[in-house]
Amino acid sequence: MADRNDDPDRPATTRSTWKDGVVLVCRECDGTKHLDPKQARQVLKHEAKRVLGRRSVIVVETACMDVCPKKAIAVAALGAGGGWDRVVTVQSAHACCHFIDELAADRSSEPQRRATP
């Protein structure tokens, strides 16, 4: 019987360098005259490092997410634990910062446990 690690068709599991989740930025959105998708990615990445900590999330440009906002950029956050699953639209660097602050608040708030009788 062949070793499972020798099978090239079997996906290999590996550890990621980021621990909390992924932030996706649509590179096909038009954006505004003050913020394009590349700038949004840079702001989100900088804020995530500052607020959430280094290597907490990875910020990636992606293809169309079928949100297609007018004069805005679609941004999605997918958390490792499922708590960040959301899509928003941003129109400014300030909105990007506010979005990261919301993610930090979600991460710090733990679900309340029910007391067992």
- Which CATH number is 21-106's, of 1.10.357, 1.10.10, 3.40.30, 2.40.128? 3.40.30
Mean pLDDT of 50-61: 91
**Structural domain spans, the chain:** 21-106
pLDDT of residue 5: 61
pLDDT of residue 112: 44
CA 27 to chain CA centroid, Å, is: 14
The predicted model scores a pTM of 0.79
